[in-house]
Structure 1
Amino acid sequence: MQSLVHMPPCEAMIAENLAAIRARIAAAAVRAGRDPASVALIAVSKTQPRDAVLAACAAGQVLFGENRVQEAAQKFPVPGARLHIIGGLQTNKVLEAVRLADSIDSLDRPRLSDAIAAAAEKTGRLPELLVQVNIGDEPQKAGVATADADAFIRATRLRFGTALKGLMCIPPAGRDPLPFFHHMVGLADTHGLSVRSMGMSGDFEVAVAAGATHVRVGTAVFGARPRPAEA
Protein backbone atom coordinates (compact mmCIF):
# COMPACT_ATOMS: atom_id res chain seq x y z
CA MET A 1 0.00 0.00 0.00
CA GLN A 2 1.34 3.45 -0.89
CA SER A 3 2.22 5.82 1.90
CA LEU A 4 1.09 9.43 1.78
CA VAL A 5 3.20 12.56 1.75
CA HIS A 6 1.70 14.94 4.32
CA MET A 7 2.36 18.65 3.92
CA PRO A 8 2.14 20.73 7.11
CA PRO A 9 -1.40 22.11 7.35
CA CYS A 10 -1.81 25.87 7.14
CA GLU A 11 -4.00 26.86 10.08
CA ALA A 12 -4.91 30.21 8.53
CA MET A 13 -5.92 28.57 5.24
CA ILE A 14 -8.12 26.00 6.98
CA ALA A 15 -9.78 28.70 9.08
CA GLU A 16 -10.42 30.83 5.97
CA ASN A 17 -11.81 27.85 4.07
CA LEU A 18 -14.11 26.92 6.93
CA ALA A 19 -15.41 30.48 7.14
CA ALA A 20 -16.07 30.53 3.39
CA ILE A 21 -17.93 27.19 3.42
CA ARG A 22 -20.00 28.21 6.43
CA ALA A 23 -20.93 31.45 4.68
CA ARG A 24 -22.05 29.55 1.58
CA ILE A 25 -24.10 27.14 3.71
CA ALA A 26 -25.75 30.06 5.51
CA ALA A 27 -26.52 31.85 2.25
CA ALA A 28 -28.03 28.71 0.73
CA ALA A 29 -30.17 28.21 3.82
CA VAL A 30 -31.42 31.80 3.75
CA ARG A 31 -32.30 31.52 0.05
CA ALA A 32 -34.33 28.42 0.89
CA GLY A 33 -36.09 30.13 3.79
CA ARG A 34 -34.27 28.00 6.34
CA ASP A 35 -32.41 28.82 9.53
CA PRO A 36 -28.65 28.56 8.79
CA ALA A 37 -28.20 27.01 12.23
CA SER A 38 -30.25 24.01 11.05
CA VAL A 39 -27.42 22.84 8.73
CA ALA A 40 -24.23 21.34 10.18
CA LEU A 41 -20.90 20.97 8.38
CA ILE A 42 -19.04 17.67 8.57
CA ALA A 43 -15.41 18.32 7.65
CA VAL A 44 -14.18 15.23 5.81
CA SER A 45 -10.65 14.72 7.10
CA LYS A 46 -9.82 11.44 5.39
CA THR A 47 -6.13 11.23 4.34
CA GLN A 48 -5.41 14.47 6.20
CA PRO A 49 -2.99 14.49 9.16
CA ARG A 50 -4.12 14.92 12.74
CA ASP A 51 -2.62 18.40 12.75
CA ALA A 52 -5.17 19.41 10.11
CA VAL A 53 -7.97 18.19 12.35
CA LEU A 54 -6.52 20.17 15.26
CA ALA A 55 -6.27 23.27 13.06
CA ALA A 56 -9.93 22.90 12.08
CA CYS A 57 -10.89 22.45 15.73
CA ALA A 58 -9.03 25.66 16.57
CA ALA A 59 -11.23 27.39 13.99
CA GLY A 60 -14.37 26.11 15.72
CA GLN A 61 -15.07 22.97 13.70
CA VAL A 62 -16.70 20.18 15.71
CA LEU A 63 -17.89 17.46 13.29
CA PHE A 64 -15.43 15.38 11.28
CA GLY A 65 -15.92 12.54 8.81
CA GLU A 66 -13.56 9.66 8.19
CA ASN A 67 -13.92 6.81 5.70
CA ARG A 68 -11.63 4.23 7.29
CA VAL A 69 -11.70 3.19 10.92
CA GLN A 70 -7.99 2.34 11.03
CA GLU A 71 -7.04 5.80 9.77
CA ALA A 72 -9.54 7.49 12.07
CA ALA A 73 -7.99 5.74 15.07
CA GLN A 74 -4.69 7.48 14.32
CA LYS A 75 -6.32 10.92 14.72
CA PHE A 76 -9.19 10.53 17.15
CA PRO A 77 -10.36 11.07 19.79
CA VAL A 78 -9.73 14.81 19.71
CA PRO A 79 -11.05 16.92 22.60
CA GLY A 80 -14.21 18.75 21.56
CA ALA A 81 -14.53 16.91 18.23
CA ARG A 82 -17.18 14.43 17.15
CA LEU A 83 -16.28 11.66 14.71
CA HIS A 84 -18.60 10.36 11.99
CA ILE A 85 -17.67 7.17 10.13
CA ILE A 86 -18.95 7.97 6.64
CA GLY A 87 -17.32 5.25 4.53
CA GLY A 88 -18.39 1.68 3.90
CA LEU A 89 -17.83 -0.27 7.11
CA GLN A 90 -16.55 -3.84 7.13
CA THR A 91 -17.90 -6.05 9.88
CA ASN A 92 -14.38 -6.84 11.15
CA LYS A 93 -13.88 -3.10 11.83
CA VAL A 94 -17.14 -2.59 13.69
CA LEU A 95 -15.85 -3.15 17.22
CA GLU A 96 -13.23 -0.44 16.84
CA ALA A 97 -15.75 1.83 15.13
CA VAL A 98 -18.23 1.47 17.99
CA ARG A 99 -15.49 2.25 20.50
CA LEU A 100 -14.26 5.31 18.59
CA ALA A 101 -17.09 6.95 16.65
CA ASP A 102 -19.84 9.26 17.80
CA SER A 103 -21.89 8.37 14.72
CA ILE A 104 -21.81 5.57 12.15
CA ASP A 105 -23.37 7.03 9.02
CA SER A 106 -23.07 4.05 6.66
CA LEU A 107 -25.36 1.35 8.07
CA ASP A 108 -26.70 -0.47 5.03
CA ARG A 109 -27.18 -4.20 5.64
CA PRO A 110 -28.44 -6.68 8.26
CA ARG A 111 -25.00 -8.24 8.86
CA LEU A 112 -23.64 -4.83 9.76
CA SER A 113 -26.58 -4.29 12.13
CA ASP A 114 -25.74 -7.61 13.78
CA ALA A 115 -22.10 -6.62 14.20
CA ILE A 116 -22.99 -3.19 15.62
CA ALA A 117 -25.42 -4.73 18.11
CA ALA A 118 -22.79 -7.26 19.25
CA ALA A 119 -20.12 -4.56 19.57
CA ALA A 120 -22.49 -2.30 21.50
CA GLU A 121 -23.21 -5.09 23.95
CA LYS A 122 -19.50 -5.77 24.38
CA THR A 123 -18.43 -2.14 24.81
CA GLY A 124 -21.46 -0.74 26.60
CA ARG A 125 -21.78 2.11 24.11
CA LEU A 126 -23.80 2.63 20.95
CA PRO A 127 -22.96 5.47 18.54
CA GLU A 128 -25.67 7.35 16.75
CA LEU A 129 -26.63 5.66 13.48
CA LEU A 130 -27.59 6.75 9.98
CA VAL A 131 -28.90 4.38 7.33
CA GLN A 132 -27.06 4.86 4.05
CA VAL A 133 -29.46 4.73 1.12
CA ASN A 134 -28.20 3.97 -2.40
CA ILE A 135 -30.46 6.74 -3.62
CA GLY A 136 -29.57 6.21 -7.29
CA ASP A 137 -29.60 2.40 -7.06
CA GLU A 138 -26.09 2.30 -8.53
CA PRO A 139 -24.54 -1.18 -8.46
CA GLN A 140 -21.05 0.12 -7.69
CA LYS A 141 -22.15 2.10 -4.62
CA ALA A 142 -22.80 1.07 -1.05
CA GLY A 143 -26.15 1.67 0.59
CA VAL A 144 -29.44 -0.10 0.93
CA ALA A 145 -31.45 -0.21 -2.31
CA THR A 146 -34.35 2.21 -2.47
CA ALA A 147 -36.83 -0.67 -2.85
CA ASP A 148 -35.57 -2.17 0.42
CA ALA A 149 -35.09 1.07 2.34
CA ASP A 150 -38.47 1.24 4.10
CA ALA A 151 -38.21 -2.28 5.51
CA PHE A 152 -34.57 -1.82 6.53
CA ILE A 153 -35.26 1.50 8.25
CA ARG A 154 -38.17 -0.03 10.19
CA ALA A 155 -36.02 -3.00 11.26
CA THR A 156 -33.18 -0.69 12.29
CA ARG A 157 -35.46 1.46 14.41
CA LEU A 158 -36.98 -1.61 16.04
CA ARG A 159 -33.51 -2.88 16.91
CA PHE A 160 -31.70 0.32 17.89
CA GLY A 161 -34.50 2.67 18.90
CA THR A 162 -33.56 6.34 19.23
CA ALA A 163 -29.94 5.67 18.23
CA LEU A 164 -31.22 5.74 14.64
CA LYS A 165 -31.11 9.43 13.80
CA GLY A 166 -31.55 9.64 10.05
CA LEU A 167 -30.33 8.87 6.55
CA MET A 168 -27.25 9.46 4.42
CA CYS A 169 -26.86 9.34 0.65
CA ILE A 170 -24.59 10.16 -2.30
CA PRO A 171 -26.47 11.00 -5.51
CA PRO A 172 -25.25 9.75 -8.89
CA ALA A 173 -22.38 11.73 -10.36
CA GLY A 174 -23.08 13.74 -13.49
CA ARG A 175 -26.83 13.98 -12.92
CA ASP A 176 -29.02 16.64 -11.36
CA PRO A 177 -28.83 15.80 -7.65
CA LEU A 178 -32.01 17.65 -6.67
CA PRO A 179 -34.54 14.84 -7.41
CA PHE A 180 -32.40 12.39 -5.46
CA PHE A 181 -32.13 14.76 -2.50
CA HIS A 182 -35.91 15.28 -2.56
CA HIS A 183 -36.39 11.51 -2.63
CA MET A 184 -34.25 11.09 0.46
CA VAL A 185 -35.95 13.90 2.34
CA GLY A 186 -39.30 12.30 1.59
CA LEU A 187 -38.02 8.96 2.84
CA ALA A 188 -36.74 10.54 6.04
CA ASP A 189 -40.04 12.36 6.55
CA THR A 190 -41.98 9.14 6.09
CA HIS A 191 -40.07 7.55 8.95
CA GLY A 192 -39.93 10.62 11.17
CA LEU A 193 -36.14 10.89 10.96
CA SER A 194 -34.67 14.32 11.50
CA VAL A 195 -31.12 13.90 10.15
CA ARG A 196 -30.50 14.04 6.38
CA SER A 197 -26.77 13.86 5.59
CA MET A 198 -26.47 14.72 1.92
CA GLY A 199 -24.44 17.06 -0.21
CA MET A 200 -20.69 17.27 -0.73
CA SER A 201 -18.26 19.83 -2.15
CA GLY A 202 -19.90 20.04 -5.58
CA ASP A 203 -23.56 20.06 -4.58
CA PHE A 204 -23.96 20.98 -0.92
CA GLU A 205 -25.84 24.20 -1.69
CA VAL A 206 -28.41 22.23 -3.68
CA ALA A 207 -28.64 19.79 -0.76
CA VAL A 208 -29.25 22.62 1.68
CA ALA A 209 -32.06 23.92 -0.53
CA ALA A 210 -33.58 20.43 -0.56
CA GLY A 211 -33.48 20.03 3.23
CA ALA A 212 -30.07 18.66 4.24
CA THR A 213 -29.26 18.89 7.93
CA HIS A 214 -25.62 17.81 7.43
CA VAL A 215 -23.30 18.39 4.48
CA ARG A 216 -19.92 16.69 4.01
CA VAL A 217 -17.06 18.79 2.65
CA GLY A 218 -13.41 17.75 2.44
CA THR A 219 -10.98 19.31 -0.02
CA ALA A 220 -12.74 22.68 0.05
CA VAL A 221 -11.88 22.79 3.76
CA PHE A 222 -8.45 21.16 3.93
CA GLY A 223 -7.11 21.66 0.42
CA ALA A 224 -5.82 18.92 -1.87
CA ARG A 225 -5.51 15.50 -0.32
CA PRO A 226 -1.94 14.30 0.38
CA ARG A 227 -0.28 12.66 -2.62
CA PRO A 228 1.12 9.10 -2.55
CA ALA A 229 4.81 8.93 -1.73
CA GLU A 230 7.12 7.93 -4.57
CA ALA A 231 8.58 4.44 -4.36
Structure 2
Amino acid sequence: MAATAVPSPPSGPDDDAEEHANEADGIAVERLRHALGPVYGYPRPALGLSGPDWPSAFTAMLHAVLADAIRFEVTLPAPIDLLADLPARFGHRLAEVRRPALVHFDAWEGNLVLARTGHGEWRLSGLIDGERAFFGDPLAELVGLDPLGSAEDDPDLMAGYRSHAPGTVIDAGARVRLALYRVYLALVMRVESVPRAYGGEFAAWLDTWSAERVTRQLAVLDALEE
Protein backbone atom coordinates (compact mmCIF):
# COMPACT_ATOMS: atom_id res chain seq x y z
CA MET A 1 0.00 0.00 0.00
CA ALA A 2 1.32 3.46 -0.93
CA ALA A 3 0.35 6.48 1.16
CA THR A 4 1.13 10.17 1.10
CA ALA A 5 2.55 11.98 4.13
CA VAL A 6 0.05 14.52 5.43
CA PRO A 7 1.36 17.54 7.37
CA SER A 8 -0.31 18.22 10.69
CA PRO A 9 0.13 20.94 13.33
CA PRO A 10 2.16 19.97 16.45
CA SER A 11 -0.80 20.66 18.72
CA GLY A 12 -4.50 19.93 18.42
CA PRO A 13 -6.82 22.27 16.50
CA ASP A 14 -8.65 24.99 18.35
CA ASP A 15 -12.39 25.45 18.83
CA ASP A 16 -12.68 27.23 15.47
CA ALA A 17 -11.27 24.17 13.71
CA GLU A 18 -13.63 21.85 15.54
CA GLU A 19 -16.57 24.02 14.51
CA HIS A 20 -15.86 23.38 10.82
CA ALA A 21 -14.57 19.81 11.08
CA ASN A 22 -17.88 18.04 10.55
CA GLU A 23 -18.78 20.00 7.44
CA ALA A 24 -15.27 19.53 6.01
CA ASP A 25 -15.50 15.82 6.75
CA GLY A 26 -18.80 15.58 4.90
CA ILE A 27 -17.29 17.30 1.87
CA ALA A 28 -14.19 15.10 1.87
CA VAL A 29 -15.94 11.75 2.02
CA GLU A 30 -18.48 12.82 -0.57
CA ARG A 31 -15.58 13.41 -2.96
CA LEU A 32 -14.33 9.86 -2.37
CA ARG A 33 -17.50 8.41 -3.85
CA HIS A 34 -16.40 9.52 -7.32
CA ALA A 35 -13.49 7.05 -7.25
CA LEU A 36 -14.77 3.73 -8.60
CA GLY A 37 -13.35 0.26 -8.04
CA PRO A 38 -12.94 -2.66 -10.46
CA VAL A 39 -15.27 -4.80 -8.32
CA TYR A 40 -17.47 -4.45 -5.25
CA GLY A 41 -15.99 -5.17 -1.83
CA TYR A 42 -12.28 -5.59 -1.13
CA PRO A 43 -10.46 -5.77 -4.49
CA ARG A 44 -8.10 -8.65 -3.69
CA PRO A 45 -9.46 -11.85 -5.29
CA ALA A 46 -7.48 -14.07 -2.91
CA LEU A 47 -9.49 -12.77 0.04
CA GLY A 48 -12.81 -13.82 -1.44
CA LEU A 49 -14.40 -10.60 -0.19
CA SER A 50 -15.47 -9.09 -3.50
CA GLY A 51 -18.17 -9.67 -6.07
CA PRO A 52 -19.67 -8.48 -9.35
CA ASP A 53 -22.48 -6.71 -7.48
CA TRP A 54 -23.01 -5.19 -4.07
CA PRO A 55 -25.33 -7.88 -2.61
CA SER A 56 -22.78 -10.64 -3.27
CA ALA A 57 -19.85 -8.57 -1.99
CA PHE A 58 -21.61 -7.45 1.19
CA THR A 59 -22.71 -11.02 1.84
CA ALA A 60 -19.09 -12.18 1.63
CA MET A 61 -17.93 -9.36 3.90
CA LEU A 62 -20.53 -10.03 6.58
CA HIS A 63 -20.05 -13.80 6.46
CA ALA A 64 -16.29 -13.32 6.87
CA VAL A 65 -16.85 -11.39 10.11
CA LEU A 66 -19.16 -14.12 11.38
CA ALA A 67 -16.54 -16.74 10.49
CA ASP A 68 -13.99 -14.74 12.48
CA ALA A 69 -16.40 -14.67 15.42
CA ILE A 70 -16.40 -18.47 15.39
CA ARG A 71 -12.64 -18.60 14.95
CA PHE A 72 -11.96 -16.27 17.88
CA GLU A 73 -14.82 -17.64 20.00
CA VAL A 74 -16.63 -14.31 20.20
CA THR A 75 -20.15 -14.39 21.64
CA LEU A 76 -22.51 -12.77 19.17
CA PRO A 77 -25.38 -10.49 20.28
CA ALA A 78 -27.87 -12.31 18.01
CA PRO A 79 -28.18 -15.82 16.53
CA ILE A 80 -25.54 -16.34 13.86
CA ASP A 81 -28.07 -17.70 11.36
CA LEU A 82 -30.21 -14.56 11.74
CA LEU A 83 -27.17 -12.34 11.13
CA ALA A 84 -25.94 -14.42 8.20
CA ASP A 85 -29.35 -14.21 6.53
CA LEU A 86 -29.54 -10.40 6.59
CA PRO A 87 -28.04 -9.82 3.09
CA ALA A 88 -30.48 -12.28 1.52
CA ARG A 89 -33.40 -10.89 3.49
CA PHE A 90 -32.68 -7.35 2.33
CA GLY A 91 -30.98 -8.18 -0.95
CA HIS A 92 -33.41 -6.05 -2.95
CA ARG A 93 -32.27 -3.00 -0.98
CA LEU A 94 -28.59 -3.81 -1.42
CA ALA A 95 -29.23 -4.24 -5.15
CA GLU A 96 -30.19 -0.56 -5.32
CA VAL A 97 -26.44 0.17 -5.28
CA ARG A 98 -25.28 0.31 -8.91
CA ARG A 99 -21.69 1.59 -8.74
CA PRO A 100 -18.69 0.47 -6.63
CA ALA A 101 -17.73 3.78 -5.01
CA LEU A 102 -14.69 4.12 -2.75
CA VAL A 103 -15.81 4.11 0.89
CA HIS A 104 -13.32 5.00 3.65
CA PHE A 105 -15.68 3.61 6.33
CA ASP A 106 -13.70 5.03 9.26
CA ALA A 107 -13.71 8.76 8.59
CA TRP A 108 -14.79 9.88 12.05
CA GLU A 109 -13.26 13.08 13.43
CA GLY A 110 -10.30 11.27 15.03
CA ASN A 111 -9.09 10.31 11.56
CA LEU A 112 -9.23 13.85 10.17
CA VAL A 113 -6.04 15.84 9.71
CA LEU A 114 -6.60 19.60 9.80
CA ALA A 115 -3.99 22.16 8.78
CA ARG A 116 -3.65 25.87 8.16
CA THR A 117 -1.05 28.38 7.06
CA GLY A 118 -0.14 30.84 9.81
CA HIS A 119 -3.33 32.05 11.45
CA GLY A 120 -5.45 31.37 8.40
CA GLU A 121 -8.55 29.25 8.16
CA TRP A 122 -8.34 25.59 9.10
CA ARG A 123 -8.82 23.17 6.23
CA LEU A 124 -9.02 19.42 5.89
CA SER A 125 -5.66 18.20 4.57
CA GLY A 126 -6.14 14.46 4.78
CA LEU A 127 -7.90 11.34 6.03
CA ILE A 128 -5.91 8.62 7.79
CA ASP A 129 -6.54 4.99 8.79
CA GLY A 130 -7.96 3.59 5.58
CA GLU A 131 -7.71 -0.07 6.63
CA ARG A 132 -11.50 -0.56 6.48
CA ALA A 133 -11.92 1.01 3.04
CA PHE A 134 -13.81 -0.91 0.37
CA PHE A 135 -15.69 -0.32 -2.88
CA GLY A 136 -19.45 -0.33 -2.50
CA ASP A 137 -22.37 1.77 -1.38
CA PRO A 138 -21.29 5.40 -0.85
CA LEU A 139 -24.06 5.70 1.73
CA ALA A 140 -22.03 3.42 4.01
CA GLU A 141 -19.68 6.35 4.55
CA LEU A 142 -22.27 7.91 6.84
CA VAL A 143 -21.82 4.99 9.23
CA GLY A 144 -18.06 5.46 9.41
CA LEU A 145 -18.44 9.21 9.88
CA ASP A 146 -20.28 8.66 13.16
CA PRO A 147 -19.71 5.05 14.30
CA LEU A 148 -21.60 5.55 17.55
CA GLY A 149 -24.51 7.65 16.30
CA SER A 150 -26.41 8.61 13.15
CA ALA A 151 -24.51 10.88 10.78
CA GLU A 152 -27.59 11.41 8.63
CA ASP A 153 -29.12 13.29 11.57
CA ASP A 154 -26.14 15.68 11.93
CA PRO A 155 -27.09 18.90 10.08
CA ASP A 156 -23.51 20.27 9.85
CA LEU A 157 -22.07 17.07 8.46
CA MET A 158 -24.93 16.56 6.03
CA ALA A 159 -24.62 20.18 4.88
CA GLY A 160 -21.06 19.45 3.78
CA TYR A 161 -22.03 16.14 2.19
CA ARG A 162 -25.04 17.52 0.34
CA SER A 163 -23.10 20.56 -0.89
CA HIS A 164 -21.42 18.13 -3.30
CA ALA A 165 -24.20 15.52 -3.49
CA PRO A 166 -27.43 17.54 -3.47
CA GLY A 167 -29.45 14.55 -4.68
CA THR A 168 -28.72 12.45 -1.59
CA VAL A 169 -32.01 11.11 -0.23
CA ILE A 170 -32.41 9.16 3.01
CA ASP A 171 -35.49 7.12 2.12
CA ALA A 172 -36.67 3.73 3.41
CA GLY A 173 -34.20 1.82 1.24
CA ALA A 174 -31.34 4.00 2.45
CA ARG A 175 -32.31 3.48 6.09
CA VAL A 176 -32.36 -0.29 5.59
CA ARG A 177 -28.86 -0.21 4.14
CA LEU A 178 -27.59 2.10 6.87
CA ALA A 179 -28.92 -0.31 9.50
CA LEU A 180 -27.18 -3.23 7.74
CA TYR A 181 -23.88 -1.35 7.67
CA ARG A 182 -24.23 -0.44 11.35
CA VAL A 183 -24.71 -4.11 12.21
CA TYR A 184 -21.65 -4.97 10.12
CA LEU A 185 -19.42 -2.31 11.69
CA ALA A 186 -20.52 -3.15 15.24
CA LEU A 187 -19.70 -6.81 14.58
CA VAL A 188 -16.30 -5.89 13.12
CA MET A 189 -15.48 -3.83 16.20
CA ARG A 190 -16.74 -6.56 18.54
CA VAL A 191 -14.84 -9.39 16.86
CA GLU A 192 -11.55 -7.54 16.31
CA SER A 193 -11.34 -6.79 20.04
CA VAL A 194 -10.22 -10.39 20.67
CA PRO A 195 -7.18 -10.63 18.36
CA ARG A 196 -6.31 -7.06 19.29
CA ALA A 197 -6.42 -8.10 22.97
CA TYR A 198 -8.43 -5.16 24.23
CA GLY A 199 -8.89 -5.18 27.97
CA GLY A 200 -10.18 -3.21 30.93
CA GLU A 201 -12.96 -0.68 30.81
CA PHE A 202 -12.76 -0.17 27.06
CA ALA A 203 -13.27 -3.86 26.33
CA ALA A 204 -16.24 -3.96 28.71
CA TRP A 205 -17.75 -0.85 27.13
CA LEU A 206 -17.25 -2.20 23.60
CA ASP A 207 -18.90 -5.50 24.51
CA THR A 208 -21.97 -3.74 25.91
CA TRP A 209 -22.17 -1.08 23.21
CA SER A 210 -21.81 -3.45 20.26
CA ALA A 211 -24.50 -5.76 21.63
CA GLU A 212 -26.90 -2.85 22.09
CA ARG A 213 -26.03 -1.42 18.69
CA VAL A 214 -26.73 -4.68 16.86
CA THR A 215 -29.95 -5.29 18.78
CA ARG A 216 -31.19 -1.78 18.05
CA GLN A 217 -30.37 -1.99 14.34
CA LEU A 218 -32.07 -5.37 14.02
CA ALA A 219 -35.19 -3.75 15.45
CA VAL A 220 -34.87 -0.97 12.86
CA LEU A 221 -34.66 -3.58 10.11
CA ASP A 222 -37.71 -5.41 11.42
CA ALA A 223 -39.68 -2.16 11.38
CA LEU A 224 -38.57 -1.31 7.83
CA GLU A 225 -39.08 -4.75 6.31
CA GLU A 226 -41.65 -4.75 3.53
Q: Is the TM-score greater than 0.5?
A: no
TM-score of the two chains, using structure 1 as the length reference: 0.27
Give 1 or 2: higher helix fraction. Answer: 2
Give 1 or 2: higher strand fraction. Answer: 1
Greater RCO, CA 8 A, separation 6+:
2
